[in-house]
Chains A and B, each alone.
Chain A
C-alpha cells in the first residue's frame, strides 16, 4: 500500500530533481497551503450540510433537498450566495478592529487545523510542543470574538462578546488540564510522538479510568469552546439576535460561520488524536485477534482519522440538538465548581495510575 509519506517523498525528489531548489521549495509550500485550504473549505461545506441534514432529522424534517441529489450542493450554493451579498459597514464602527477580528478568528482556527495529522505522514505543522501550540493558537479565536463584539458599535454584540469571552476562557482551562492528563501518559508534547505512542493501544484503553474521565471532560469543555449546543449563550438568538457577529454581513459573517464549524471539527480532531489514537487503527491486544488486527490495519489511516473525528462531530451535533440552553450562572458554575475540580483531581489520579502500573 502506498503511504502518504512515500507520495510526499516522491513529489519532493521529482521537484528538486527537475527545478532549482528555491523554486521547488516555493512550489512545495504552495501545494501545502492550497491543499490545506482546499481541505478546510471542503470540510466546512460537508459539515454545514451534515449539520443541516441531521438537525432536520432530529426535528422530523427532511432538510435541504433541492440543490443537487439529496441537496448535497446546498452549501456550495449558499457559499456563492453569501459572496454576492453586500458588505455593510455601519456608522461609527472601529473599522480596523472590525476587520482584524475576522483575520484573527480564521487564523486561529486555520493554524490549529494545520497541526492536525490526517493520516500517516501527513504532518504539516508538527512542532515538538505540538499540544501546547494547539492550545495556544486556538485561543486566538477568543481575541477575535472579543474584538468583533467590541468594535461593532452595538449593545448586543458587546454583551455577546463578553459572554463568549468568559465562557471560552473558563472552559479552556479544563480542556487544557484534561489534555495535560494525557500528556502525562504520553510523556511528550509532540503530536507525532503522541500518536506513535498509541500504536499498540489507544490512550483511552491504556489507562481506562482517568483517561475516560479526561475524555468526557474534554468533550464537554471542547463543545463549550465552539459556542454551540447547550452552551450557545454568546449567540443566544432569542435574546441577543446573533451575539458577537450581529453587525457582520455577507462574506464577513460567512467567515465567522466557517470558523465555528471548523472549530467543531478541530475539537473533535484533537480529541481523536489525543484520546483515540489519531490515525492509528484499532488493535486488539490478544492472541486470537491477529487476523482482525491485520484487517483493521488494512483500512487507510486517513479513513481512521476521519471516521473517529466525524463520529465525535456527530456526538457533538446530537448534544447540540438535544439539550436546552444553559443560563450564564449555570454555565460558569458547571465549569468552575464541577469540571475544574474534577479535572484537577483526575490529573493526580492519572499521575498515581502511572506510578502504580
Chain B
C-alpha cells in the first residue's frame, strides 16, 4: 500500500462524504419557496446595492507579506530537515550559512514594520 494511493483514497473519501451528505440532505429535507426566502441576510432590511463591494486594501498588504514569508519558510524547510547532518559535516558553518538568509528575511520584516505596513489603519 503506497502512501500516494492512500492519500487519494482519503481525499476521495472526503469528497464522497460531502457529496453523499448533500444528496441525502436534499432528499430528506423539505423544500418550499417564497419571495423573501432568497434574500441575503442583512438584519431584516432589504439589501442595499451589490454585495460584491470594495473592501480594505489592508488585507492585500498582509497577503503580500504572507506570500514573502511563506516562500521563505518553504526554502527554509530543507535546511531544517538536514540540519543535524550539516552540523556533523560543517560544524558552525551550518548555522552561519543560513544566518545570511534569515538576515534578509528579518530585514524585510523590519522594512515593513518601519513603513507602517503592520499597522491596521
Residues of A within 8 A of B (CB): 25, 28-29, 32-34, 36-37, 83-91, 99, 102-103, 106-107, 110-111, 114, 124-127, 131-132, 150, 152-156, 158-159, 162, 165-166, 169-170, 172-173, 176-177, 180-181, 183-184, 187-189, 241, 246-247, 250-252, 254-255, 328-329, 332-333, 336-337, 340-341, 344, 347-348, 351-352, 354-355
Contact = CB atoms under 8 A, between A and B. Distances in A.
Nearest to A190: B81
A188 B18 CA distance: 34
A230 to B, nearest CB: 17
Chain A contact residues: over half helix, strand or loop, or mixed?
helix
20 contacts: A32-B6, A83-B29, A84-B25, A85-B29, A87-B22, A91-B40, A107-B18, A111-B10, A152-B40, A158-B52, A166-B59, A172-B66, A176-B73, A180-B77, A183-B77, A250-B25, A251-B21, A251-B25, A255-B18, A344-B102
B1 A106 contact: no
Nearest to B55: A162
Interface in B58-114: 58-59, 62-63, 65-66, 69-70, 73, 76-77, 80-85, 87, 91-92, 94-95, 98-99, 102, 105-106, 109, 113
Interface of B (DSSP majority class): helix
Contacts of A329: 119-120
Given A37-B13, A251-B25, 20 more contacts: A29-B5, A29-B9, A87-B29, A91-B40, A102-B18, A107-B11, A132-B77, A154-B40, A158-B55, A170-B66, A180-B80, A183-B77, A189-B77, A250-B29, A254-B21, A333-B118, A336-B65, A341-B109, A348-B95, A355-B92
| A172, A177, A181, A351: most-surrounded residue (chain B CB, <10 A) | A351
Interface residues of B, number: 70
Contacts of A177: 73
Interface string B4-29: 01110111111111110110111011
A132 B76 CA distance: 11
B85 A90 contact: no
Contacts of A33: 9-10, 12-13, 16
B11 A187 contact: no
Contacts of A337: 113, 118
B63 A166 contact: yes
